[in-house]
């Protein structure tokens, strides 16, 4: 059954992401006027692969397995926390069926931490739900291990942590070892972070991967298009030093993981 996280009612906080694309005015109603090819997939794991590729097998308790089972909206429009449409509607392939809340908080690094915490909560690995701020202060999820308390905990984390702190917390890894759940991240004030949602390979050992982001202002988490290939959202892992996403460019040395 596709995973559908419970909404968080988020508090306002300082932005953590590069301002890249400003917000635009729009209405508060969600329509199907901007349905894209991503709407054909019910979950992340349904997104069509390029010919000759297959998803890399994962354990049932792997972060990537959890990410593959997140539901996608039928509507491919990205909305901001205040119900307005994001100005740039050309960056997304599909939109995750996860609430952004109603305050300007769940931005880029916050979305990554949200999905990581939701995964660990589902796995009942409560003692692993912990994040550090830029001063290395530890924020650990404490009893009672309830949904209500998780929401309260995450509100605090989103207000105190961001790209700079998350970049310090994560472990640097080689781009060749990319796996689902990894993060392309540039810590800063502002910085940016995108989450590796899935990884596939072919018989030659070439890899492709999906990326997802939130941004600033806080907006729905969305699967990014591949600006290098309009036919597929799957990015090709190659020798290029720069990974070009629709609204941000990362160096291939900026990949980090949780372990």
Euclidean distance between CA atoms 205 and 200, whole angstroms: 9
Work out the end-to-end distance of the chain between its first and last CA atoms, rounded to an integer number of angstroms.
Answer: 28
Euclidean distance between CA atoms 202 and 44, whole angstroms: 19
CB neighbour class for 88 (10 Å; exposed up to 12, middle 13-18, buried from 19)? middle
- The answer on pLDDT for 75 being more than 60 is yes
- The answer on pLDDT for 111 being more than 50 is yes
- The answer on pLDDT for 38 being more than 90 is no
pTM summary value: 0.87
Domain map (residue ranges) of the chain? 37-257
Neighbours of 64 (CB within 10 A): 23
The string of pLDDT tens digits covering residues 147-185 is: 999 989 999 999 999 999 999 999 999 999 999 999 999
Nearest C-alpha neighbor of 221 from the set 130, 105, 133: 105
> What are the backbone dihedrals phi and psi of residue 202, each rounded to the nearest 5 degrees, phi first?
-125, -175
The string of pLDDT tens digits covering residues 92-102 is: 999 999 989 88
pLDDT at residue 18, as a whole number: 53
Compute the mean pLDDT over every residue in the chain, rounded to the nearest whole number.
Answer: 88
| Paired tokens of 149 | 């308390």
């Amino acid at each position: 059954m596709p995973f559908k996280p419970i909404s968080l009612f988020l508090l306002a906080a300082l932005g953590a992401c590069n301002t890249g694309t400003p917000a635009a005015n729009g209405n508060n109603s969600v329509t199907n006027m901007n349905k894209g090819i991503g709407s054909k997939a019910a979950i992340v794991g349904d997104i069509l692969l390029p010919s000759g590729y297959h998803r890399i097998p994962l354990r049932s308790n792997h972060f990537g397995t959890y990410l593959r089972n997140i539901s996608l909206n039928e509507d491919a429009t990205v909305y901001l926390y205040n119900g307005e449409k994001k100005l740039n509607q050309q960056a997304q392939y599909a939109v995750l069926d996860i609430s952004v809340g109603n305050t300007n908080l769940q931005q880029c690094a916050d979305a990554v931490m949200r999905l990581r915490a939701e995964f660990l909560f589902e796995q009942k690995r409560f003692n692993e739900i912990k994040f550090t701020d830029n001063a290395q202060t530890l924020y650990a999820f404490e009893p009672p291990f309830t949904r209500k308390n998780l929401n309260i905990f995450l509100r605090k984390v989103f207000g105190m942590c961001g790209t700079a702190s998350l970049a310090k917390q994560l472990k640097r890894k080689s781009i060749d070892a990319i796996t689902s759940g990894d993060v392309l991240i540039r810590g800063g004030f502002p910085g940016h972070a995108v989450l590796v949602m899935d990884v596939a390979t072919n018989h030659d050992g070439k890899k492709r991967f999906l990326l997802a982001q939130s941004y600033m202002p806080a907006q729905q988490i969305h699967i990014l298009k591949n600006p290098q290939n309009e036919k597929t959202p799957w990015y090709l892992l190659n020798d290029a030093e720069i990974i070009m996403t629709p609204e941000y460019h990362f160096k291939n040395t900026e990949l980090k993981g949780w372990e």
